[in-house]
Structure 1
Amino acid sequence: MPVSSLPAVLPGAGPTDYARYMRTDALLSLQRGPTEWVHPDELLFQIVHQASELWLKLCGSLLSRAFTHLGVGQPGAAELQLRRASETLRLTTDQLHILRSLPPAHFAVIRTALGTGSGFESPGWRLLRAATTELDIAFSRLLSEHRIAPADVYRGQPSDPLYRLAEALVEVDERIALWRTEHYSVATRVIGQGVLGTRHTPIDSLPALIAHRRFPTLWEARKDLFAAPADGACPRSVRP
């Protein structure tokens, strides 16, 4: 029997269980239709940003799970969720590349339909920011409980659970920076430099956000490793 002829058994709207479980009717109705477009490329622009919100929603959920695992002393399980979160951020970043094909003149038309809407208002980003703040506090608490300084984590072995956990956090931070970098690059490719965004924010203010760190202590730990000791002695990491 062909799969398409199987009766749906799940509750909900849609002719098939795939449609009902995935809620495809609702999902595919969320985009503006042809009669609403100010330009056909509006569909491209909207889908990329809606997909980004879905990936960021998943990322926030994964980071929250990592936070929960840290709270019950499961660094390995937390690391797994952090690695998955980094992958979702990579996918979020990669999909921005297609916006480079958006002609500036087309976006100038699309922009008229955005009102004052801005990526700064992204609920996915707010969720991500809150989740990383929680994780930063939780990791600092974990180190305090073990009486370990952040730099000492990196003086250990790369196979150590705390080292791996720290690097998983750094990877998330790096992915956020790469996402912001790609966003700025695409924005300037389409609308140029020295232009005000929809909220009258200069596009050229975006690079300052790229250097912002969600886990600053782990980046400072790297500097501590290379700082010369006051007494002129060799750093612990290179002592025989």
Structure 2
Amino acid sequence: MSTERIVAEEGAQLDFSRDMSYGDYLHLEQVLSAQHPLSASHDEMLFIIQHQTSELWMKLLLHELQAAMACVRRDELSPAFKMLARVTRILEQLVSAWTVLSTMTPPEYSAMRPFLANSSGFQSAQYRCIEFALGNKNAAMLKPHAHRPELLARVEAAWRAPSLYDESLRLMARRGLAVPASHLERDWTRPYQADPGVEAAWLAVYRDPEHHWELYQLGEKLTDLEDAFRLWRFRHVTTVERIIGLKRGTGGTGGVSYLRKMLEVVLFPELWQLRTDL
């Protein structure tokens, strides 16, 4: 059966002159015209699209993560679970994206690197909001955004707010678990510090999952999320090392040395420690 006949039989309308089209809805003209390579390198298009699409995925990740945190604050865990599961799937997409970028070889990157100047993923405001929302707080990370007041305000708001884990612990306390008061009201701009009392609260949940089913599910959703986030970080390190070795990053960081330090950051420490202590 020909394509023309299939279209005719299905009654498809191919004249979109009077209605909003696919391209109109998605603003594809603006999206697809936003790639402006500065070098003559063929491979710069890959570099640009890799980072632009990653920023789009991060936009969706933040959309889901912020909504999930709002649900946790309202004790509405069922929709929060769906959103957190989606965050994990988005992280899987971001992990896969590094596989595409890893096809760029060192000579190919070296040909375009001088045109990047000091621009770096280190300066991504969305990534910093994700880190802060997941609890990796660091006041020094506000500085890269100081030249853009609107971005600084957004990043600083995430820095000052309770993280997803902070909200989860407050929920546990509302559900009757003995979470230490020091972890319910504190300076949210400070990095999270593990506490035996918090682990004891999680252990109570994991030792009686039927009684604490929603909190048990929350613990596993958080573990899934950090598992995927670790993979994203790891693939970032290996991709950067594969392409630039141990050179310094364009944003002024140590490059691979800095990224390796980030691998040591544990976001939800008690959820990992309890597996040893169960």
TM-score (norm 1): 0.83
Counterpart selection for 1:128 from 127, 130, 133: 130
- Residue matched to 2:225: 172
What's 2:274 paired with?
Answer: 221
Distance in 2 between residues matched to 1:89 and 1:113, nearest whole Å: 29
Residues 184-195 of structure 1: pairs in structure 2 closer than 5 A: 184-192=237-245, 194-195=246-247
Q: How far is 1:123 from its partner?
A: 2.1
Q: Residue 33 of structure 2 corresponds to which residue in structure 1? A: 29
CA 1:8–1:50: 2 relative to 1, 3 Å = farther
| Residue of structure 2 equivalent to 1:143 | 172
1:196 aligns with 2:248: yes
User: What CA deviation, in whole Å up to 9, does each residue of 1:12-55 have, x standing for no partner?
Assistant: xxxxx21111000110111115xx43311000011011111111
Q: Which amino acid aligns with 2:22?
A: Y
- Corresponding residue for 2:263? 210
Residue in 2 aligned with 1:115? 117
Residue 252 of structure 2 aligns to a residue in which SS?
Answer: coil
Query: Equivalents in 2 of 1:132, 1:42: separation in Å?
Result: 32
The aligned counterpart of 2:16 is 6
1:171-216 Cα deviation digits (max 9, x unpaired): 1111111001001111111111x32111332222211211212223
Deviation above 6 Å: which 4+ runs of structure 1? none
TM-score, normalized by length of structure 2?
A: 0.72
5+ long unaligned stretches in structure 1: 11-16, 226-240
The percentage of counterpart residues that share the same residue type is 30
**SS of match in other structure, 1:59:** helix
Aligned partner letter, 1:150: W
Matched, 1:163 2:222: no
2:40 alignment counterpart: 38
On the 8 A contact 1:57/1:127 being kept in 2, the answer is no
Work out the CA distance in 2 between the residues paired with 1:88 and 1:46.
19
Check the 8 A contact 1:86/1:175 in 2, yes or no: yes
Instruction: Label 1:20 to 1:8 Cα distance change in 2 as closer, same or farther (>3 A).
Output: farther
Q: How far 1:59 sits from its partner (Å)?
A: 0.7
| Distance in 2 between residues matched to 1:219 and 1:72, nearest whole Å | 26
1:223 Cα offset (Å): 4.2
Letter in structure 1 aligned against 2:48? Q
Q: 1:90 aligned to 80, 89, 92, which one?
A: 92
Contact 1:57 1:124 in 2 (8 A): yes
Conserved? CA contact 1:52–1:92, under 8 Å = yes
SS of aligned partner of 2:251: coil
**Structure 1 residue identity aligned to 2:51:** H
Which stretch has the larger CA shift, 158-167 or 58-67? 158-167
Q: How many residues align?
A: 216
Structure 2 contact 122–251 (Cα < 8 Å) conserved:
no
Instruction: Decide whether the 8 Å contact of 1:53 with 1:123 is kept in 2.
Output: no
* CA shift digits 1:136-186 (9 cap, x unpaired): 111010111223202222212379111111111111111111001001111
The aligned counterpart of 1:237 is none
- Cα offset, 1:3, TM superposition: 4.2
